[in-house]
Structure 1
Amino acid sequence: MEAETRAALVVQPGEAGGASLSDGAFELLADGGAVSASRLTLKTGADGAPPHHHKLSHEAFYVLGGTMLFRLGDTLTTVGKGGLVVIPPGLPHVFGAADGEEADVFVVLSPGIERFGYFEKLAAISRGEAELDSLIPEQDRYDVHFENMSHWRSVT
Protein backbone atom coordinates (compact mmCIF):
# COMPACT_ATOMS: atom_id res chain seq x y z
CA MET A 1 0.00 0.00 0.00
CA GLU A 2 1.45 3.34 -1.03
CA ALA A 3 1.58 6.19 1.44
CA GLU A 4 -0.81 9.03 0.71
CA THR A 5 0.99 12.14 -0.49
CA ARG A 6 -0.05 15.34 1.24
CA ALA A 7 1.23 18.78 0.59
CA ALA A 8 0.71 21.97 2.51
CA LEU A 9 -0.36 25.14 0.75
CA VAL A 10 2.10 27.94 1.42
CA VAL A 11 1.47 31.39 -0.01
CA GLN A 12 4.43 33.70 0.52
CA PRO A 13 4.03 37.49 0.71
CA GLY A 14 3.59 38.86 -2.79
CA GLU A 15 2.50 35.51 -4.28
CA ALA A 16 -1.27 35.95 -3.87
CA GLY A 17 -3.46 36.93 -6.78
CA GLY A 18 -5.18 40.26 -6.59
CA ALA A 19 -8.30 42.01 -7.75
CA SER A 20 -8.80 45.74 -7.32
CA LEU A 21 -12.21 47.14 -6.45
CA SER A 22 -13.49 50.67 -6.95
CA ASP A 23 -13.43 51.04 -3.12
CA GLY A 24 -10.77 48.55 -2.04
CA ALA A 25 -8.96 45.36 -3.04
CA PHE A 26 -9.03 41.55 -2.74
CA GLU A 27 -5.92 39.51 -2.11
CA LEU A 28 -6.77 35.99 -3.31
CA LEU A 29 -4.86 33.52 -1.15
CA ALA A 30 -6.36 30.02 -1.56
CA ASP A 31 -8.95 28.74 -4.00
CA GLY A 32 -10.87 25.52 -3.46
CA GLY A 33 -10.04 22.37 -1.54
CA ALA A 34 -10.56 22.51 2.20
CA VAL A 35 -10.84 26.31 2.20
CA SER A 36 -11.04 29.36 0.00
CA ALA A 37 -9.24 32.30 1.61
CA SER A 38 -8.88 35.96 0.80
CA ARG A 39 -8.02 39.27 2.37
CA LEU A 40 -10.34 42.18 1.67
CA THR A 41 -9.52 45.82 2.27
CA LEU A 42 -12.32 48.37 2.00
CA LYS A 43 -12.15 52.15 1.90
CA THR A 44 -14.23 54.22 4.30
CA GLY A 45 -17.87 53.07 4.32
CA ALA A 46 -17.45 50.87 1.22
CA ASP A 47 -19.66 47.82 0.61
CA GLY A 48 -18.17 44.35 0.20
CA ALA A 49 -20.05 41.70 -1.80
CA PRO A 50 -23.73 42.07 -2.75
CA PRO A 51 -26.29 40.51 -0.34
CA HIS A 52 -26.13 36.72 -0.69
CA HIS A 53 -26.09 33.34 1.04
CA HIS A 54 -24.12 30.15 0.53
CA LYS A 55 -25.81 26.75 0.25
CA LEU A 56 -22.67 24.69 0.92
CA SER A 57 -20.04 26.75 2.72
CA HIS A 58 -19.54 28.36 6.09
CA GLU A 59 -17.96 31.81 5.76
CA ALA A 60 -15.69 33.24 8.47
CA PHE A 61 -14.53 36.85 8.75
CA TYR A 62 -11.66 37.90 11.04
CA VAL A 63 -11.29 41.68 11.27
CA LEU A 64 -7.62 42.61 10.98
CA GLY A 65 -8.20 46.36 11.21
CA GLY A 66 -10.89 49.00 11.20
CA THR A 67 -14.56 48.24 11.69
CA MET A 68 -16.93 46.07 9.65
CA LEU A 69 -20.71 46.26 9.47
CA PHE A 70 -22.56 42.99 8.84
CA ARG A 71 -26.20 42.32 8.15
CA LEU A 72 -26.83 38.73 9.20
CA GLY A 73 -30.42 37.93 8.27
CA ASP A 74 -32.37 40.73 9.95
CA THR A 75 -29.63 41.68 12.42
CA LEU A 76 -27.07 44.47 12.02
CA THR A 77 -23.77 43.89 13.82
CA THR A 78 -20.65 46.05 14.02
CA VAL A 79 -17.37 44.18 14.52
CA GLY A 80 -14.02 45.82 15.24
CA LYS A 81 -10.39 44.75 15.03
CA GLY A 82 -9.88 41.27 16.48
CA GLY A 83 -13.54 40.28 16.05
CA LEU A 84 -14.72 37.11 14.35
CA VAL A 85 -17.97 36.37 12.50
CA VAL A 86 -18.83 32.83 11.32
CA ILE A 87 -21.85 32.57 9.01
CA PRO A 88 -23.53 29.18 8.50
CA PRO A 89 -24.84 27.98 5.13
CA GLY A 90 -28.23 29.42 4.23
CA LEU A 91 -28.01 32.64 6.29
CA PRO A 92 -28.49 35.73 4.08
CA HIS A 93 -25.71 38.23 4.71
CA VAL A 94 -23.94 41.30 3.40
CA PHE A 95 -21.01 43.30 4.74
CA GLY A 96 -18.93 46.40 4.31
CA ALA A 97 -16.73 48.88 6.10
CA ALA A 98 -18.68 50.70 8.80
CA ASP A 99 -19.69 54.30 8.08
CA GLY A 100 -16.68 56.56 8.59
CA GLU A 101 -14.32 53.57 8.88
CA GLU A 102 -11.94 51.63 6.67
CA ALA A 103 -11.75 47.86 7.09
CA ASP A 104 -9.24 45.07 6.60
CA VAL A 105 -10.64 41.53 6.92
CA PHE A 106 -9.45 37.95 6.38
CA VAL A 107 -12.21 35.75 4.88
CA VAL A 108 -12.34 31.95 4.78
CA LEU A 109 -14.98 29.71 3.17
CA SER A 110 -15.11 26.05 4.10
CA PRO A 111 -15.37 23.77 2.31
CA GLY A 112 -13.52 25.72 -0.32
CA ILE A 113 -14.99 26.32 -3.73
CA GLU A 114 -13.02 27.65 -6.68
CA ARG A 115 -14.05 31.29 -6.44
CA PHE A 116 -11.24 33.39 -7.87
CA GLY A 117 -13.28 33.84 -11.05
CA TYR A 118 -16.16 35.16 -8.93
CA PHE A 119 -13.93 37.67 -7.15
CA GLU A 120 -12.41 38.84 -10.43
CA LYS A 121 -15.88 39.36 -11.92
CA LEU A 122 -17.08 41.08 -8.72
CA ALA A 123 -14.10 43.44 -8.94
CA ALA A 124 -14.96 44.24 -12.58
CA ILE A 125 -18.57 44.94 -11.52
CA SER A 126 -17.40 47.29 -8.76
CA ARG A 127 -15.31 49.21 -11.32
CA GLY A 128 -18.28 49.50 -13.71
CA GLU A 129 -16.75 47.12 -16.29
CA ALA A 130 -19.49 44.46 -15.97
CA GLU A 131 -23.06 44.13 -14.70
CA LEU A 132 -24.15 42.21 -11.59
CA ASP A 133 -26.58 40.25 -13.80
CA SER A 134 -23.54 38.59 -15.42
CA LEU A 135 -23.07 36.60 -12.18
CA ILE A 136 -26.67 35.31 -12.02
CA PRO A 137 -25.94 32.21 -14.19
CA GLU A 138 -22.84 31.50 -12.05
CA GLN A 139 -24.60 31.30 -8.63
CA ASP A 140 -24.39 27.51 -8.29
CA ARG A 141 -20.83 27.34 -9.64
CA TYR A 142 -19.52 29.79 -7.03
CA ASP A 143 -22.04 28.95 -4.25
CA VAL A 144 -23.06 32.61 -4.06
CA HIS A 145 -26.84 32.97 -4.21
CA PHE A 146 -27.99 36.58 -4.35
CA GLU A 147 -30.56 38.05 -1.97
CA ASN A 148 -32.75 41.15 -2.21
CA MET A 149 -31.66 43.35 0.69
CA SER A 150 -31.98 46.88 -0.57
CA HIS A 151 -30.75 49.47 1.91
CA TRP A 152 -28.99 46.72 3.87
CA ARG A 153 -27.26 49.14 6.23
CA SER A 154 -30.54 49.72 8.06
CA VAL A 155 -33.12 47.27 9.33
CA THR A 156 -36.67 48.60 9.27
Structure 2
Amino acid sequence: MEKQIKADYFNDELIDKAVVFQPGEGEAIRMGGFACTFKVTSELSNNQLGLYEITLPPLTIGANLHYHRFMDETFIVNKGTLTISVADRQVEVKEGGVAYIPRFTPHGFRNDSNEEVTLTLIFNPSMNREGFFYGLFETLSEQPVDPEKYLKLYNKYDSFPVDKSDMLPIRK
Protein backbone atom coordinates (compact mmCIF):
# COMPACT_ATOMS: atom_id res chain seq x y z
CA MET A 1 0.00 0.00 0.00
CA GLU A 2 1.36 3.47 -0.95
CA LYS A 3 1.89 6.06 1.72
CA GLN A 4 -0.42 9.03 1.27
CA ILE A 5 1.09 12.50 1.66
CA LYS A 6 -1.41 14.97 2.97
CA ALA A 7 -0.93 18.42 1.51
CA ASP A 8 -3.08 21.51 1.26
CA TYR A 9 -3.02 22.51 -2.39
CA PHE A 10 -5.64 25.24 -1.98
CA ASN A 11 -4.50 27.49 0.85
CA ASP A 12 -1.34 29.52 1.36
CA GLU A 13 0.68 29.00 4.50
CA LEU A 14 1.47 32.46 5.87
CA ILE A 15 4.75 32.77 7.75
CA ASP A 16 6.35 35.93 9.12
CA LYS A 17 9.93 35.90 7.85
CA ALA A 18 10.28 39.69 7.70
CA VAL A 19 13.59 41.22 8.72
CA VAL A 20 13.91 44.91 9.57
CA PHE A 21 17.19 46.79 9.74
CA GLN A 22 17.20 50.14 11.47
CA PRO A 23 19.81 52.79 10.55
CA GLY A 24 23.25 51.63 11.62
CA GLU A 25 22.19 47.97 11.85
CA GLY A 26 23.63 45.12 9.77
CA GLU A 27 27.06 43.55 9.51
CA ALA A 28 29.59 46.17 8.40
CA ILE A 29 33.03 45.73 6.92
CA ARG A 30 35.35 48.71 6.72
CA MET A 31 38.62 49.70 5.11
CA GLY A 32 39.75 53.23 5.79
CA GLY A 33 36.72 55.44 5.19
CA PHE A 34 35.12 52.94 2.79
CA ALA A 35 32.37 50.82 4.36
CA CYS A 36 29.85 48.22 3.25
CA THR A 37 26.94 47.28 5.53
CA PHE A 38 25.01 44.13 4.66
CA LYS A 39 21.27 44.69 4.93
CA VAL A 40 19.39 42.10 2.84
CA THR A 41 21.85 39.28 2.19
CA SER A 42 21.85 36.43 -0.28
CA GLU A 43 21.07 34.05 2.56
CA LEU A 44 18.03 36.06 3.70
CA SER A 45 16.62 36.41 0.18
CA ASN A 46 17.45 32.95 -1.15
CA ASN A 47 19.90 34.67 -3.55
CA GLN A 48 17.12 36.77 -5.09
CA LEU A 49 18.26 40.16 -3.78
CA GLY A 50 21.27 41.76 -2.16
CA LEU A 51 20.94 45.18 -0.54
CA TYR A 52 23.97 46.95 0.86
CA GLU A 53 24.73 50.39 2.27
CA ILE A 54 27.98 51.73 0.85
CA THR A 55 29.99 54.67 2.19
CA LEU A 56 32.51 56.18 -0.21
CA PRO A 57 35.01 58.65 1.21
CA PRO A 58 35.88 61.76 -0.81
CA LEU A 59 37.69 61.17 -4.11
CA THR A 60 37.23 57.38 -4.01
CA ILE A 61 36.59 54.98 -6.89
CA GLY A 62 33.95 52.34 -6.12
CA ALA A 63 34.50 50.43 -9.37
CA ASN A 64 35.88 51.17 -12.81
CA LEU A 65 33.99 50.30 -15.98
CA HIS A 66 32.67 46.72 -15.80
CA TYR A 67 29.50 44.77 -16.52
CA HIS A 68 27.51 41.85 -15.13
CA ARG A 69 26.16 38.94 -17.15
CA PHE A 70 23.57 37.58 -14.73
CA MET A 71 22.50 40.41 -12.42
CA ASP A 72 21.15 43.93 -12.51
CA GLU A 73 22.49 46.66 -10.22
CA THR A 74 20.64 49.64 -8.77
CA PHE A 75 22.21 52.65 -7.04
CA ILE A 76 20.16 54.87 -4.71
CA VAL A 77 22.10 57.91 -3.51
CA ASN A 78 21.28 58.66 0.13
CA LYS A 79 23.82 61.43 0.74
CA GLY A 80 26.09 63.43 -1.56
CA THR A 81 26.60 63.15 -5.30
CA LEU A 82 27.71 59.90 -6.96
CA THR A 83 29.38 59.94 -10.37
CA ILE A 84 28.35 56.97 -12.48
CA SER A 85 30.04 56.03 -15.74
CA VAL A 86 27.64 54.34 -18.14
CA ALA A 87 29.27 53.14 -21.36
CA ASP A 88 30.89 56.35 -22.68
CA ARG A 89 29.10 58.97 -20.56
CA GLN A 90 29.34 60.33 -17.02
CA VAL A 91 26.22 61.04 -14.96
CA GLU A 92 26.12 62.82 -11.62
CA VAL A 93 23.43 61.26 -9.45
CA LYS A 94 22.44 63.59 -6.68
CA GLU A 95 21.01 62.79 -3.24
CA GLY A 96 17.68 61.00 -3.68
CA GLY A 97 18.55 59.95 -7.25
CA VAL A 98 18.38 56.40 -8.57
CA ALA A 99 20.39 54.71 -11.33
CA TYR A 100 19.30 51.31 -12.62
CA ILE A 101 21.98 49.38 -14.53
CA PRO A 102 20.71 46.25 -16.32
CA ARG A 103 23.04 43.33 -17.00
CA PHE A 104 25.46 43.75 -19.94
CA THR A 105 25.54 47.54 -19.40
CA PRO A 106 29.11 48.82 -18.90
CA HIS A 107 29.21 50.93 -15.75
CA GLY A 108 31.42 52.18 -12.95
CA PHE A 109 30.99 54.54 -10.01
CA ARG A 110 33.01 56.91 -7.89
CA ASN A 111 32.90 59.83 -5.51
CA ASP A 112 34.49 62.82 -7.25
CA SER A 113 33.54 65.23 -4.48
CA ASN A 114 35.25 66.36 -1.30
CA GLU A 115 32.29 65.08 0.74
CA GLU A 116 31.38 61.54 1.80
CA VAL A 117 28.80 59.74 -0.37
CA THR A 118 26.40 57.17 1.05
CA LEU A 119 24.35 54.96 -1.21
CA THR A 120 22.16 51.89 -1.20
CA LEU A 121 23.38 49.29 -3.68
CA ILE A 122 20.98 46.58 -4.84
CA PHE A 123 21.88 43.45 -6.81
CA ASN A 124 19.16 41.33 -8.38
CA PRO A 125 19.73 38.42 -8.13
CA SER A 126 22.42 38.71 -5.48
CA MET A 127 24.55 35.69 -6.39
CA ASN A 128 26.28 35.57 -2.98
CA ARG A 129 27.57 39.12 -3.40
CA GLU A 130 28.73 39.24 0.23
CA GLY A 131 31.62 36.97 -0.77
CA PHE A 132 32.64 39.54 -3.34
CA PHE A 133 32.76 42.31 -0.72
CA TYR A 134 34.80 40.19 1.70
CA GLY A 135 37.23 39.29 -1.10
CA LEU A 136 37.38 42.90 -2.30
CA PHE A 137 38.39 44.18 1.12
CA GLU A 138 41.02 41.43 1.43
CA THR A 139 42.45 42.04 -2.05
CA LEU A 140 42.55 45.83 -1.79
CA SER A 141 44.20 45.72 1.65
CA GLU A 142 47.23 43.94 0.17
CA GLN A 143 49.95 46.21 -1.19
CA PRO A 144 50.62 46.16 -3.98
CA VAL A 145 47.20 44.99 -5.19
CA ASP A 146 47.52 41.81 -7.26
CA PRO A 147 45.62 42.40 -10.54
CA GLU A 148 45.29 38.65 -11.23
CA LYS A 149 43.75 38.01 -7.80
CA TYR A 150 41.42 41.00 -8.31
CA LEU A 151 40.30 39.72 -11.73
CA LYS A 152 39.72 36.20 -10.36
CA LEU A 153 37.50 37.65 -7.62
CA TYR A 154 35.68 39.86 -10.12
CA ASN A 155 34.94 37.01 -12.50
CA LYS A 156 33.81 34.62 -9.74
CA TYR A 157 31.15 37.13 -8.69
CA ASP A 158 29.80 38.03 -12.15
CA SER A 159 31.87 41.17 -12.74
CA PHE A 160 33.82 41.63 -15.95
CA PRO A 161 36.08 44.65 -16.52
CA VAL A 162 35.71 46.43 -19.84
CA ASP A 163 39.45 47.22 -19.84
CA LYS A 164 41.67 44.87 -17.82
CA SER A 165 44.49 47.44 -17.85
CA ASP A 166 42.22 49.92 -15.99
CA MET A 167 40.18 47.69 -13.69
CA LEU A 168 41.67 48.42 -10.25
CA PRO A 169 39.74 51.08 -8.27
CA ILE A 170 42.85 53.15 -7.63
CA ARG A 171 43.13 56.83 -8.57
CA LYS A 172 46.17 57.59 -10.67
Aligned to 1:154: none
Q: How many corresponding residue pairs?
A: 151
Q: 1:43 aligns with which of 53, 57, 60?
A: 57
Partner of 1:145: 160
Q: State how far apart, in whole Å, the 1-side matches of 2:19 and 2:63 are.
A: 26
User: Structure 2 CA distance, aligned partners of 1:29 and 1:70?
Assistant: 22
Q: How far has the Cα of 1:142 moved from its partner? A: 1.4
Q: What is the RMSD of the two structures over their aligned residues, measured on CA atoms? A: 2.4
CA distance in 2, matches of 1:51, 1:45: 17
What TM-score comes out, normalization by structure 2 length? 0.76
Give the Cα separation in 1 of the matches to 2:51 and 2:27. Answer: 11
2:38 counterpart (28, 47, 65):
28
Letter paired with 1:40: I
Asked whether the 8 Å contact 1:44–1:97 carries over to 2, the reply is yes
Letter in 2 for 1:112: S
Relative contact order higher in (CA < 8 Å, ≥ 6 apart): 1
Is contact 1:22–1:126 with CA below 8 Å preserved after alignment? no
What is the identity percentage for the equivalent residue pairs of Structure 1 and Structure 2?
A: 25
TM-score, normalised relative to structure 1: 0.82
**One-letter code of the match for 1:146?**
P
**Runs (5+) with no aligned partner, structure 2:** 1-6, 168-172
Spell out structure 1 runs of 4+ moving beyond 6 A. Answer: none
Contact 1:49 1:122 in 2 (8 A): no
Q: Secondary structure at the match of 1:47?
A: strand
